[in-house]
Structure formats: C-alpha cells, structure tokens
Amino acid sequence: MKANTVASKALSIAVMAASLILLFAALALDFTGSGFKGRGALLVVGMIGFFVGLYLFPTPKNHRKIVYIIFLFPLLFTFAVTVIIPLVLGIGYSFTDWTGVAITKNVGLANYSTMFHDPAFLYSILITFIFVVLNMVLINLVGFLLALLCTSAIKATGFFRAAYFLPNLIGGIVLGYIWQFVFNNVLTKMTNTSASILSQSKPALIAIVVVYLWQYGGYIMLIYITGLTQIPGDVLEAAAIDGANARQTLFQIKIPMIASTITICTFLTLTSAFKQFDVNMSLTNGAGSVPNFMGSYLSNGTQMLALNIYNTAIAKNSYAVGQAKAVLFFIILAVVSLIQVRVSNSKEVEL
C-alpha cells in the first residue's frame, strides 16, 4: 500500500514535470519567434498534462481542493487574461510614454498631471456626469412607463413590447449613423433650416440623450415587465379588495414589490450610460464647440469620457495619456457602482 502511494506520487510528479517542460518549451519557442507549427499543440498538451498529474497526486486530505482548483482554472485563466493582466499592464503603461508601438521611458505621474490640466478632458467628465444623470432618470422613467403600458389591459401588448424592444437589436454604431441622417437630412428639411441640431453642442447632447433613450428604453422596459408580471396576483387582489385605487396600487404595492428590479435597472443604466461610446462616436464623433470653458475654446463639445479616452489614444496618438485617463475612468466607474449597489441594497432591506 505504502509502496503504491510512493509509486503513484512519483508518477504524478513525473507527469507534472514532463508537462511543465513541454509548456515552457512551447512558450520559449513562441517568444523566440520560432515558426514551429506544433508549438500550440505542445502548449495545450503541457497544460492538460499538468492538471492530469495534479489530479493523480495521492493526497486524500487535499484531493477535493485540487479538484476545485482544476475546475476553477479555465474561468480564472480567462478572467486573468482578459481582465486582470490588461488592467495591470494598462496601469503600468499609464506611467510611461507608450505610443502604441514602443515605450522609450518612464514618465512618472506626468500623464496624470497632463490630463487634469486639460480643460477638454474635464469638460468631458462634466458632460458625462450630466449625461449619466439624465439618462438614468429618463430611461428608467420611460422604461417603467412603457412597462406599465405593456402590462396593462390594452390590446396587442405583444406587438408593442416587440416594437419598443426592437431598437435595442440595432447596433449602436448603425443607430448613430441612422439618426445622424435623420437629424442632418430629414429634420433639417422638415424644419427648413440649413444647420442641423448636431452642429451645436447643447442640442447635439440632447440628441445623443434622445437616441440613447430610444435605443435603451425598450431593453429596460423588458426588465420592468418581468418584474411587474412577477408580482403575486393575490397581493394585487388583496389591495383591490381593500379598495386601493390604481394610483395607490402603483405606489404602495407595485413599486415596492419591484424594488430589486429597480436596483438592477438603475445599475444597468448607470454603468451603460457611463460607458457610452458607440452612439456618441457615430452621431457626432465628439464634435461641437464650447466658446468658453475654463478660459479656453473647446472643440469637443459632445465628447463623452469613453470617446475622449479613445480619441486621446487613437486620434491624438498619445496612448499613454489615454491610458492614464482610462485608469481614472476605471476608478470612477468602480466607485460609482459600489456606492450605487450599497445604497440600493440598504433600501431593499428596509422594505
């Protein structure tokens, strides 16, 4: 029995060692730029072999833990590759003069100081917050009202649900271009003006809000419909028997009953409005003039945070500053989301 354990332990370690050698050989081949075609297979075989060896390791006490690790690995690995590593790399890049192709030196906090001295960026932050607040309120309001409409006793609710939801199926970029056409060609013809509302900052911002509302309202409506239809019938019936009118039912029964849905929806609208990029880019690409903001004339009157970051990196070719802005963006998003979830959660407990 003892000999058996030793043998299987040796086998396990041998398999793991051999696999690791394969794994590192594959990585070494890759980094040295070898053209050997089998290196991918080598890598995968090495990876799998390592876990087989680990699984065979004779330890009754920790066997379960090993199995957990093996099963968790794919997810953790993907998460690390797509989220954690880029995040760390990105923070690293923000302290250098990265151009997207090469890094020549470390610049410390210079990128951060540049971005806070840039009125255009501060303006972007400002309008992003305005946009987020407007959107959060409007989308939830409209979504909820549409949901009430679509759960009421009117005819053809199925049709209306589909119709309101449909804009969400069109991608943001396409939507932006469609609406750009509407604002620039259709609306100008109808009102008989030459300049479209997209050529001025404030109306253009409202246009973005409207388009985004049009796109996202139906989606939020769908979530509210799910919430509303899940309210137990007996509660509503009890309310009706107690003589509650429609308004009382709405405010005293329905809204409290779907508090968790409201949490989800505010959270969804908040974060998605913050990340707004595609409609913004295709509709105005950030263009718009602001005659005087902190003493300077700005030409990015409708440029929201995400687009500003993109333009800094791509159009202005300063990847490092863009990266620094992205780090700030990450922090803002993380803080706002955490606060929002906390506030909503505490409210739910009260109810």
Partner 1 sequence: MKKQVLALALAGVMAAGLAGCGGSSTSSTAASGSTKEASSTAGGSGKSLRLVNGKIEVDAQLKELAAKYKEETGVDVQIESMGGGVDIQGTLKGYYQADNMPDIFVNGGATDFANWEGKLADMSDQAWVKDTDAAYTDADGKVIGFPYTTEAIGLAYNADVLEKAGVDPKSITGPDSMKKAFETIDAKKDELGLTAVIGYCAEATNLYWSTGNHLFGVYEDGGLKRDDSTYYDMLSKDGSIDKDRFGKFADMVALFNQYSDPAILVSGTYDQQILNFASGKYAFVTQGSWIGATMTSDDKEAYDAAGDFKVGMVPYAFEEGQDTILTNSPSWWAVFQNDNTEEAKKFLQWCSEDKGQDILVNKAGFVSPFKSCTYVASDPFAQTITDYTKAEKTSSWHWLGNKEGLAQNALGVVFQDFAAGNIPDAETFASTIEQVSKQYYAS
Residues that bind partner 1 (CB under 8 A): 35, 37, 39-41, 43-44, 47-48, 51-52, 55, 67, 70-71, 74, 99-102, 114, 117-118, 120, 180, 183-185, 188, 194-196, 198-200, 283-289, 291, 296-297, 299-301, 311, 313-317
Name the minimum Å distance from CB 193 to partner 1.
9
If the CB atoms of residues 172 and 288 are measured against partner 1, the closer one turns out to be 288
Name the minimum Å distance from CB 189 to partner 1.
9
If the CB atoms of residues 314 and 334 are measured against partner 1, the closer one turns out to be 314
Name the minimum Å distance from CB 296 to partner 1.
5
If the CB atoms of residues 16 and 313 are measured against partner 1, the closer one turns out to be 313
Name the minimum Å distance from CB 24 to partner 1.
16
If the CB atoms of residues 97 and 118 are measured against partner 1, the closer one turns out to be 118
How many other CB atoms are found less than 10 A from the CB of residue 122? 14
Alpha-carbon gap, residue 50 to 12, rounded angstroms: 9
265 close to 140: Cβ distance less than 8 angstroms? yes
If the CB atoms of residues 46 and 218 are measured against partner 1, the closer one turns out to be 46
If the CB atoms of residues 74 and 243 are measured against partner 1, the closer one turns out to be 74
Name the minimum Å distance from CB 317 to partner 1.
4
Name the minimum Å distance from CB 110 to partner 1.
12
If the CB atoms of residues 140 and 323 are measured against partner 1, the closer one turns out to be 323
Name the minimum Å distance from CB 284 to partner 1.
5
If the CB atoms of residues 40 and 108 are measured against partner 1, the closer one turns out to be 40
Name the minimum Å distance from CB 88 to partner 1.
16
